[in-house]
Amino acid sequence: MMLKTFPGFDIPTVAPDGFEHEPDATTAYWHHRPENTLPPPDFIGPYARHRPLPTPDVEDRRAWIIGGGIGGLAAAFYLIRDGHMAPGNITILEEMDIEGGSMDGAGNPEHGYIIRGGREMNWNYDTLWDMFQDVPAVELPEGYSVLDEYRLINDNDPNYSKARLMRNRGEILDFTDFGLSTSQQWEMIRLMLKRKEDLDDISIEEYFSEGFLKSNFWALFRTMFAFKNCHSLLEVKLYMHRFLDSVDGFGDMSVLIFPKYNQYDTFIKPLADMLRHRGVRFQFATRVHDLALSEVDAQKTVTGIECTISGQAHQIDVRPNDLVFALTGSMTENTAYGDLDTVPQLAVGRHDPGEESGWTLWRNLAEKSPVFGHPEKFYGDTDQSIWESATLTCKPSPLVEKLKELSVNDPYSGRTVTGGIITFTDSNWLLSVTCNRQPHFPDQPEDTLVVWVYGLLMDQSGNHVRKTMPQCTGREILTELCYHLGIEAQIDDIVANTKVRTALMPYITAQFMKRAAGDRPRVVPDGCTNLGLVGQFVETRNDIIFTMEASIRTARIGVYKLLNIPKQAPDISPTQYDIRNLLKGARALNSGKPFPGERLLHRLLDRTYYAHILPPLPEPETSRRDAFEAEIESLAAKGGDALKSLATWITTFRKGFERKGD
């Protein structure tokens, strides 16, 4: 029996009019008041883990989920856990013959493994962990979750790199030095102060100076997240807010936490297995190209799903009270594959993906109404969105020996290896290589390593192999890598013990293309009564893209809105507002040296309760007064007598405080 109110208490089971399922922490000052019964928009914690009551008639509703990637799987999860929908009423429609979408992991020792990409994870992906703390663990016994497993691994095996940046065929750079001048640091600070609304259709290279774009900081940032200089400046801003607490770990990658296995076996398989066990239906070989919509008084309702099933045209009828969740666009659409001796051949043009692509559904929706955005802004120039990866399946060879030199643990130990990507800053392809914990696949032989390589710049010839990366075979990409490692003279031995599988992805960073307000649709577009959109090309309040977190967030918001559940999907973690993160972020941008004015703060707060929020000063206690006075003189030259007066006041205040404490 479904309840409209809670027995004995007048508690509605549906959200009231005006309820904000996707709260925005940046819109207004939040404070306590009698009518405000909800926590802050970005509140994260067990109190946000409450389970809502079933909404009326949910037992009779069905859900059709288009796309079996992480967003689609998350939609099914939240429909069941928070929406109380019967799992048997949920159907996932997937074009391929396996779930997972872009989060792949396949192959074998004989033919080589392949992973188009990997997961750089963070502890405050709160929506992701909210879901995976309820998904059974991969290897631990019943009662443990994927989150439990992840914590146990990473708490006991710290991640860090000792060779994050390299050049000159083997020289390790000092990656603790971000190389930003004071004026270049201010470029980033000014960007963070700008309003999001003022950054429409502005590229990174249109804003930052040439010096900034040549700095170690930008080399670290762009290769860690796969930004090109032509990409969206707005997205860089969102990334800085999202990862402000992580800036001091950008250099050695200590901010990252990695899984034991690849992304498919770690996340997709246990989640899909759980959904299947609950009764969710998976329908493969189904490609959806359009949705039939009825429109009455600006209200749009999906009435049918137009698709092909195993190549045959079908229309799936959708009732008005049923729900549809659809993926808009795919970053791995039209991937072309190669191997040791073949070059991947793209089947799409630079400006048009063609009619038989993963962009077709979104394009057809956009033709019906502007509320569905402008997909051409994202697929319209593959020269700006393309890059290539290569997966190496390695037996012992000089390449493996070189990796041992650059790793924090023996690659065969099962522990952290390179700690993230190693980037060759003088590579014309901006080539990076990484070896994560091994084995990377559960069935991987003990003497085998799986190594991942990617190049960000596709329009320049290699430093050693005089071709662009997309023109190269796997053998040539391996040769270029070995050149940057200084071991190209041993290439024959390396090739004999290495299998290479390449993936050329024309839309892999399409989500980073310059955009303006309205280019991406909302999770539930205006006027839609039973349609939610999920994935990397959907607008959210403040979150970034190119993460699992983003896809899961869109699914969660869509479920809450369409079922009108009185529960919110919290805004991103509020770490950007923590004064400690602001201070250590400023110190990190200044390459670990005290930032201007920091010693004033130390002078004020030292020996108080709040002294611990400040990064430790580099000089010993005995010389801090001299350093403080030198800083005051330097700042006074810029700020005049007012600053000297402030310094005098701070000194007087400090002495008075110390006397009261005696």
The one catalytic residue in 239, 261, 483, 507 is 239
Give the rounded distance of the alpha carbon of 437 from its chain centre.
Answer: 20
> Which is nearest to 74 in space by CA: 268, 316, 359?
268
Rounded to whole angstroms, how far apart are CA atoms 470 and 477? 9
Contact 639, 652 (CB under 8 A): no
| DSSP element (H, E) containing 157 | none
Q: Using the CB atoms, write b or e for 168-195: b if 16+ within 10 Å.
A: ebeebbebeebbbeeebbeebeebeeee
**Backbone phi and psi for residue 592, each to the nearest 5 degrees, phi listed first:** 85, 0
Contact 313, 290 (CB under 8 A): no
Rounded to whole angstroms, how far apart are CA atoms 90 and 81? 13
Rounded to whole angstroms, how far apart are CA atoms 177 and 334? 39
Beta bridge partners of 424: 166
Q: Using the CB atoms, write b or e for 415-436: b if 16+ within 10 Å.
A: bbbbbbbbbbbebbbbbbbbbb
Contact 275, 140 (CB under 8 A): no
Rounded to whole angstroms, how far apart are CA atoms 584 and 149? 30
Contact 561, 523 (CB under 8 A): yes
Contact 472, 465 (CB under 8 A): yes
Rounded to whole angstroms, how far apart are CA atoms 583 and 331? 36
> Which is nearest to 102 in space by CA: 84, 87, 85, 115?
115
Read off the DSSP letter of residue 577. G
Spatial CB neighbours of 57, under 8 Å, sequence gap ≥ 6: 2, 321
Dihedral, CA of residue 623, residue 624, residue 630 and residue 636, to nearest 10: -160
Annotated active-site residue 29? The verdict is no
Give the rounded distance of the alpha carbon of 505 from its chain centre.
Answer: 18
Rounded to whole angstroms, how far apart are CA atoms 403 and 380? 39
Annotated active-site residue 261? The verdict is no
Q: What angle do CA 108, 112, 114 make, to 5 degrees?
A: 90
The one catalytic residue in 22, 94, 95, 120 is 120
Which region, left, alpha or beta, applies to residue 486 given φ > 0 means left and ψ of -120 to 50 means alpha? left
Q: What is residue 351's three-state secondary structure?
A: coil
For the CA atoms of the chain, what is the radius of gyration?
26
> Which is nearest to 434 in space by CA: 472, 384, 394?
394
Catalytic residues: 120, 239
